Amino acid sequence: MDFRDRHIVVTGGTGALGAAVVNELLGGGAICHVPYYIDEEERNYPHRTHPRVKLIPGANIVSQTVVARIYDGVPNLWASIHLAGGFAASPVAETDETELMRMLRTNLVTCFLCCAAAVRAMRPGGAGGRIVNVAARPALEPRLGAGSAAYTASKAGVAALTQALAAEVLADRILVNAIAPSIMDTEANRKAMPKADHALWPKVEEVASAICHLASTENRITSGAIIPVYGRA
């Protein structure tokens, strides 16, 4: 996919999936703007010295002010890919308001703020753009969210936001989509579930390819989709 000279923001770009997404974007010639908040992630980041990777420190994207600073610093934004998020599992009766709000802020609020900033950045040039969010399998199949209802609700919000925003900005030539992965094959997930059949899980490189297609100029007609990327799980 040709991303030559295109500026792309990748939140969560220092994570396992984020590193795979940035790797594919760099292969297509993109200039990647990668906000991060945890210093250790930057120190271990495989793309930290790449000349087309612009790391943005202190990026707590729960803050609208911080999000505005990030997007104000990106020229000619073409795509915004929102991978930042988190997971927590607890039964509803054992989930307090603090944990519920943490899931909503971590997954839905960060996505909403970055979507809004991306639209504001893309509209003036009239060239359109691409936004890609990350929902989750339980967002499409809520019964799978038993035991992690707060997380499921936050990701269902991301899915609804994606579809509503897609209709809102279609006339601006901005295409908005989301992927909905199952458990992905990462080192952390293998450690957490050592007895699972890891061969069934989608690989981060495979999920990254689906994301990058949605963010590319090759995607001319898909908007408002929540695309399952479950592998064989």
Q: Give the domain CATH number at 46.
A: 3.40.50.720
On whether residue 2 sits in a domain, the answer given is: no
On whether residue 191 sits in a domain, the answer given is: yes
On whether residue 200 sits in a domain, the answer given is: yes
Query: Which segments in the chain show pLDDT lower than 50?
Result: none
Domain of residue 86, residue span: 7-229
Q: Report the sign of the C-alpha dihedral through residues 9, 183, 39, 99, in that order.
A: positive
On whether residue 1 sits in a domain, the answer given is: no
On whether residue 29 sits in a domain, the answer given is: yes
On whether residue 36 sits in a domain, the answer given is: yes
User: How many domains does the chain divide into?
Assistant: 1
On whether residue 14 sits in a domain, the answer given is: yes
The identity of residue 223, as a single letter, is S
* HSE-CB for 200 with a 13 A CA cutoff: 8
What's the pLDDT tens digit per position in 175-202?
999 999 999 888 889 998 999 999 999 9
- pTM for the full model? 0.96
